[in-house]
Structure 1
Amino acid sequence: MALSSSLSAKGVYLDPATFINNVFAGQPPVPDKLTLSGQLAQDVRNILEHRYKKIRVTYWQDAQRTAWILEEIGKERPITAGFVVENNKIEDFKVLIFRESRGWEIRNEFFTRQFSGAFLKTNSRLNQSIDNITGATMSVNAMKKLSRMALFLHNHVITQQ
């Protein structure tokens, strides 16, 4: 029984295209790309504690609202997550694709809702603590890092306009 629940925990919970479509009520803006180079790349590296796997990050923007689909390794495999940021705060966060054998509980609302309203303090840390999940520490840490990255990139995009 435990084996079957572990196997069923992996997979696509929400297609990234559907996530973006839902965020923008069926009318998503044209996606844009942000190149991670120079100081921006270094700042992202400081948040993640390693270089991000892609040099260009796709995002969607409508006025002061942005949506990001980002990936980070949990224990061994990438976890794909979607973030919506408005007014420099996380409005929504969903685990879209989970590929690990453990830690799937991070997709549940009891975990994701902890990020609602979170913003970055001046030290690029979240303003609120996020409760850990026993057996999912690496997945939790990965999502905390991605939330910080989404907030940081949102702020960068908004202030560059």
Structure 2
Amino acid sequence: MKFIPLLSLFIVLFNSSNTFAKGVYQTPEAFIHQALAIPTPKANIFWLDGNAQKTIETILAHRFNKLRLRYWQKNNETVWVLNEIGKESLITVGIHIKDQKIAQTKVLIYRESRGDEVRHPFFTDQFKSAKLKNDLELNKHIDGITGATLSVRALTKLSRIALWLDAQVHLKG
């Protein structure tokens, strides 16, 4: 009988640990301001034509139902705030591109119940200096995290998309 309260507490703590993974770690506005080191500039709009839609859908391996994406730019730098589903919920990621390579990747809002290890610098720092190859893959290997496979894939896909979008912005600019 003495162990029932202790067992009950353990069960509650164990089951509630899944809810700790969810959170807002930084607002998109704060990330944009921090990345560009200036007052947050006005957002630009990238209109998705057929080619852009097809490329993004190729990277995501599913449909992408948006007509436009917002981004922020300062000289040769762009910042993208993108969303992708991990296992069941959206993950919001800020990606700062400078000189056609990733300067910073940061999980801004994590809504999944598990796998939030992808938000830590030990994982996101792997994306630093990554570039996009002609086959739309990153030029460097990203190590996965056991138990967070779908979140790892989501961040990798969003990084590839941000690099491709940055290249398109600079081609048009």
Following the alignment from structure 1 to structure 2, what is the Cα–Cα distance between the partners of residues 119 and 52?
A: 23
Among all aligned residue pairs of Structure 1 and Structure 2, give the percentage whose two residues are the same amino acid: 47
The equivalent of 1:99 in structure 2 is 111
1:125 maps to 137
Aligned: 1:114 with 2:126: yes
> Alpha-carbon deviations, 1:11-46, whole Å to 9, x = none?
101111111111122422211011112111111111
Higher share of residues assigned helix: 2
Unaligned runs of 5+ in 1: none
RMSD over aligned Cα atoms: 1.1
TM-score (normalised: structure 1): 0.96
Query: Which moved further from structure 2: 1-10 or 34-43?
Result: 1-10
* Cα distance in 1 between the residues matched to 2:154 and 2:16: 25
Query: Match for 1:71 among 83, 98, 112?
Result: 83
TM-score calculated relative to the size of structure 2: 0.90
Q: Using the TM superposition, name which of 66-75 and 12-21 deviates more.
A: 12-21
The Cα shift of 1:133 comes to 0.3
For 1:53 and 1:21, how far apart are their aligned partners in 2?
Answer: 28
Q: Which has the larger radius of gyration?
A: 2
Cα deviation, residue 68, structure 1: 0.2
| Aligned counterpart, 1:81 | 93
SS of the equivalent of 2:64 reads coil
Aligned residue pairs total: 161
Is 1:52 aligned to 2:31, yes or no?
no
Whole-angstrom CA distance in 2 between matches of 1:2 and 1:107:
21
